[in-house]
Structures are given as structure tokens and as C-alpha cells.
Chain A
Amino acid sequence: MSIIELKNVTYQYPLDSEAIIKEIDLSIENGKVYGLIGNNQAGKTTLCNIMRGFIPEMFLGELTGTVMYKEKAIQQYNIGALAAEIGYSSQNPFTQISGVKDTVEEEIAYGMENIGISPEIMEQKVQELIELFKLEELKEKNPFELSGGQKQRVALASIVALDPEVVILDEPTSQLDPQSTEEIFEIIAMLKKQGKTIIVVEHKVDLLAEYCDEIVLLEDGRIVKNGSAHQVLSDPDILEHGGALPQVSLFYLKHLKQNTSVPITMAEAIRKLMGGVSQ
């Protein structure tokens, strides 16, 4: 079942001379983890905004084509109510903080207040999320006093609090150190187990290889590759289109000069190579 469906979507920002998203067809299936990759001007953030319904509701400019959420046009949903269905966190941690709450606990509860969750459930959920995102020491602090990485964790906790079906994350680990990055991906895996659909924009393809089911490569506003993680992240062609390959695939392709059944994760590579190079 396609939970989000884009058909022939083209979008141009008002002050731009050309469209940033061009004729995109994309079908997001329920329950899968999608990795969205590509160069920084490829239109990944714009695509996220479209899938969340922010474009064209909150932006000017022309959007042509159809964007469906649960088989209904996304413009028909109230933009705020949609927060309970599609979670969204963007790149800049400094703007992920609402600015109206002065403790981390309240920040996490803020979204739930807006969608009318009862205080008892809010209290419980806030405590659960603080534990899950390891925010115990920070729970009384003002969100503005946190570091960039801490802000990102709080922002993520705040959107998971709304229990959405789809979660869109735009570069959630750009400010985090390697350990915190792993922790975020572990949370992504946990959300997938809960049956959610996740779309994550990332440059760290080695981690995407481990956690994603599907990879979408965007270049110049068009989808140039769209397939299973295995297909896309073992295809050397993506290097010509702004994509990056996981280190192990790169090694296999360029150094061992093998281009069939290329491993994309560390575990696969180890298994293959233990069994002998010719495998």
C-alpha cells in the first residue's frame, strides 16, 4: 500500500528561474525505511516539504502534479492536524525548537498539547521518551541552552511523541558524533518495528545501507535511481549522479573489481570475504 504517492510532481520556488523538483513519480510504501540521497542542491529538502504538505501550503510558488497521503490529496488535510500523521524534523537544530517552552520536558509535550492528548498520557509519554532518547540529565534545561546535537535529539523526541505513521527526517545526524548517530539510527529501526514508515535524508550512506529498505537518488530535481538499498548502493553509476557508495561496496567494486553480488553492509562484506575472494 502506498502511504504517500507523488505523481508527476513539479515545483518551482517563486524567486527561482527553474523548477527545483521536476516531474517526480514516487511511491512510498507503508512500513519501509527510505533513504533519500544526492548532492546538496538536488532538491531533497524540497521533496521532504512536499511530502509533508508544507509545499505548497506554506510556500508560494507553483506545484503541479498530485501528492496523495493515504489515497487522499494532501491539500485536503489540515496542515497542523497532519502532524499526528506525518512527523517532520529538518536540518537546522536551532530552528527545531518551538521557542515557547522553557524546559525539555515541556518541549516534548508541546506537540501533544496541540493535538489534545490528555495530561495523564502526556506525562507518561514524556517520561518514556526522555528515557528512550537519553535526556534525563537535560529534562529541566531550557532547550535553547543545549548543544546542536542535543537539540536534534529533543526535536526527534518531540515528533515521535505525536506517534505519527510516517516520519520524515531531514539530515537528523549532521551535528551528532558517531555514537549519537548510531543511537538515532537504532531509534529509526525501532520505529520501523512499530510499523511506521520512515524517510530519512542522509549523506552517511554506510549507515543507510544498514538500516534502509529502499534508496532514492535525487539529482537536479529528478529521481535518477530508485530501488532496493542493495540495488542502488552497489551500483557504481550513482557516483556520476551525486550519490556516494558505502565504503565496503566501493572497495569491492574498485579494488576487488567485482560487480556482482556486491555487499553493502559491513556484515555482508565480512561474510563474503571470509568465504574467499572469489565468492
Chain B
Amino acid sequence: MANPIDKWYPSTKLMIVLTVIIVSMFSTIPLVQYVLFGFAILLSLCSGKIGRFLNTFFKSIFVIVLFIFLVQVFIVKNDDSQPIWWFIGYSQIGLDTSIGLASRIVAISSIIIWFFQVTSVKDIVAALEKARIPKKVTFVISATIQLVPQMTKLSQTITDAQRARGIETEGSVLVRMKAFIPMMGPLVLTSIQQTDERVLTLEARGFSAPIRKTAYYSMKKTALDYMIVIACLLGLIAYFVGGPL
């Protein structure tokens, strides 16, 4: 049950992101930023990803924004700071600044979060290949992304193996820190050794064959993609002509 937005070409979605970022950067009134944020939420709803979006958003941006707010309002010294206690003072300018800063961060980061939720690595790689980016570059990207789950699985196996020979891994932080070394050794060595062998496997799959590569999975730009890109460009033009808000 794939959402149609998943099928939009990656560069199309990137265009939307760029449009939002440009508008956000040139705007001075917070209202515009809130509208852009609302736009990102709307897109997430349409993409069927609103749950994950809010989850990621609150886990990452919310903390940063809160921190900025607290620092700007209560700690940074401005002309109108009224001291409350020790180095903590209240500043109206600080409040305004933080709202302006925070709203911009929210607008930009929310559209970026949306982008990565609706664009899989596979799609990004396919789009890069279509754009004639060399296979060796896309290889590095794909391999790096796969590295994380691969190493996680490997370290889980190693942890199990070490538990089975009496190395405690459950319990206090100190205990777990001690378990780190017996875990790192095999992890690093095994990873290096596996990388060595994997190079042979890649050649056994024709990695450096001097032939023009084809793609098993590829994406196509549709009329809708072109329409969205044009709409974004028109929107930008209208924004600058009408005077940036």
C-alpha cells in the first residue's frame, strides 16, 4: 500500500525542500515560518507519515529549540535584561530573537525531516545513477548506509558470544563498559577481514568491469513531477516579485 508521494522523483521532492528553505531564509516575520511548518505537517499527513514525522521532530528539533529559547531569554545579556537571580535574567529582546530563530529552525528542519521520511536511500541512489553519477560514488553511499545495520548485527552476535564465555554484559554502566573491549576487538578485526573478502566478492560480481552499467531498479519522472517543479519555481518568482515577507 504505497503512498503516491513515495513515487515522486527524488529531485522533485528536493525542489520542494529548496523552495521552502529559500522562502524561510528570506522571510523576517515568524508567521511565514509557522505557515511553512504547517505546510510540512500537511505534506506528512498526505504522505501517510505523520506519526513518524512527529516522533522524529519532537525527539530532535524540540530539544534544540527549547535550549535556544532558554539561553536567549534567560542567559544571554541584552540591553533590556532584567536580572532575576545570579546570571539568569529576563530579556524581551531575547524572547523575540529566540522566537524568530526557533521558528526558522523549525520550518527548515521539518521539511528536511519530511524529505528523508518519504525518500528511500534506494530512490536517491537510483536518481543519482540516472543523473550519471559514477557507480563508484553511488556504491560508497549504498555501502555506508548498509554499514550501520550490518555492524549492529555483528556486534550483537559478538556480545552473545562473549556472554557465553562468562563476560557480563548485563547490569551497571561500569559492567557494560568493561564488556566493551572484548566486543571491540572481534568487531574491528572481523569487519576489516570481512571487508577484505568482500572486495573479492565485488569483483566476482564484475565491480570494475569497464562496461556501461545498467540498473535493475530505476525511477522515471512523470508529468506530475514536472508540474510540481514548475509550481515551485513559479511560487518562488511570485514570492520575490511580490516582495519577500
Q: Could you tell me which A residues sit within 8 Å of B by CB distance?
A: 49, 52, 54, 58, 78-81, 83-84, 87-90, 92, 94-102, 105-106, 109-119, 122-123, 126, 142, 144-145, 155, 158-159, 162
Contact = CB atoms under 8 A, between A and B. Distances in A.
Given A102-B146, A109-B216, A144-B150, A114 B205 contact: yes
Interface string B178-200: 00000000000000001001111
B218 A54 contact: no
A81 B146 CA distance: 25
Contact of B201 (A95, A118, A142): A95
Interface in B197-228: 197-218
Given A95-B194, A99-B143, A113 B215 contact: yes
B28 interface: no
B204 A87 contact: yes
12 contacts: A83-B203, A92-B194, A96-B201, A97-B201, A99-B198, A100-B146, A113-B214, A116-B209, A116-B213, A118-B214, A123-B216, A144-B146
3 closest residue pairs by CB, A with B? A80-B209, A80-B208, A114-B206
B209 A78 contact: yes
A81 B206 CA distance: 6
Nearest to B135: A114
A144 B148 CA distance: 11
Interface residues of B, number: 33
A58 B199 contact: yes
Given A58-B200, A87-B204, A144 B214 contact: no
A77 to B, nearest CB: 10
A114 B209 contact: yes
Contact of B208 (A79, A90, A112, A116): A79
Nearest to A158: B205
Chain B binding surface SS class: helix
Contact of B142 (A54, A100, A118, A155): A100
Contacts of B197: 90, 92, 95
B242 interface: no
Given A102-B146, A117-B214, A118-B214, A83 B209 contact: yes
Contacts of B205: 83, 98, 110-111, 114, 158-159, 162
A84 B200 contact: no
Contact of A116 (B146, B198, B214): B214
Given A100-B142, A144-B146, A84 B209 contact: yes
Nearest to B204: A88
Given A96-B201, A99-B143, 15 more contacts: A80-B206, A90-B197, A98-B202, A100-B143, A105-B216, A111-B205, A113-B213, A113-B214, A113-B216, A116-B209, A119-B214, A119-B218, A122-B216, A142-B149, A159-B204
Nearest to B139: A100
Contacts of B211: 81, 114-116
B130 interface: no
A119 B217 CA distance: 8
Contacts of B217: 106
Contacts of A105: 216
Nearest to A95: B197
Contact of A99 (B146, B200, B216): B146
Given A94-B194, A113-B215, A123-B216, A81 B200 contact: no
A112 B198 contact: no
A67 B154 CA distance: 38
Nearest to A105: B216
